[in-house]
Amino acid sequence: MEILMEELQGFFKGLIKAKLVIPLTASYFFMAFIGVIAESNKDMSLILMTKPFLMPLMLMMYVCASKKYNTLFIVSLFAVWIANMFLISEAMEMILTGSICFLIYRIAVILMVLKITKFPGYLPMVIGSLPFLILYLFAAHITYQEPGERFVLFVVQGIFMIFFGGFCLGSYILKSNKTNTLLLISALLFTTAQFLIVLKVFNISHAIFQPLTMLSFVIGQYLLYQYVLMEEKRKRRYKSA
């Protein structure tokens, strides 16, 4: 009887959590939409009212949607939340700290993807890395005159960007299923956002860059969240079979 009651409680808890996913997702995109408008108008008060809530909303979405939590994904959300807080500021010290936190986020995401998705092989990996390498070399050409810690951080970020992008594109080349498609599009959007952030750090900016950076990241992060959920469901189906 006790086991039956526990199972019923678990069922109703899962049902309530599942019903929360849609309103939380709507809240996430509403906050993102307001944030993009705020970035376009450079409305700092509105940015502070929206940007800090994006990753907590995604964390709640994930907790409600997932049946077995991925620790690395949760760590990545915390790291990028802290990074976003620092990157709101215009001060170079804050931007550098935010970039370091973003690097931690990138490492957590890469480790998570390596655990979830099978390594595509060296040839697809090399082929997949080429477009990201070209973009990195272009960015390096623009910023090569900038000395100091910023350039070192840029190089490290670039290495991770090339590796992650090459892995995602290589996986898609090897097997173009839905999860790999989501992962690839997410990687492309993250690369776009990272490239625009680099341009901002090195004082090469335009009015459209900041809202475009936020839009790219918000959509890319949501696709990564969907990728994680789809892989979790696939593994549950495989275990059941």
Q: Which pLDDT value is given to residue 93?
A: 67
pTM for the whole structure: 0.86
pLDDT one-digit tens code per residue, 9-61: 444 355 567 788 999 999 999 999 999 999 888 888 888 888 889 999 999 99
Neighbours of 234 (CB within 10 A): 14
Tokens of 76: 């990545």
By residue count, the chain amounts to 241
pLDDT one-digit tens code per residue, 88-122: 766 666 777 887 888 899 999 999 999 999 888 88
Q: Which pLDDT value is given to residue 47?
A: 87
Neighbours of 109 (CB within 10 A): 25
Amino acid, res. 119: F
Judge whether 167 and 137 are in contact, CB under 8 Å: no
Tokens of 211: 């809202």
DSSP state of 118: P
Segment 158-161 long-range contacts (CB within 8 Å, at least 24 positions apart): 160/103, 160/106, 160/107, 160/110, 161/106, 161/132, 161/136, 161/190, 161/191, 161/194
- Residue 207: name the closest of 41, 51, 45 by CA: 41
pLDDT one-digit tens code per residue, 163-198: 999 999 999 998 889 999 999 999 999 988 888 876
- Rounded (10°) angle between helices 149-174 and 122-143: 150
Neighbours of 192 (CB within 10 A): 18
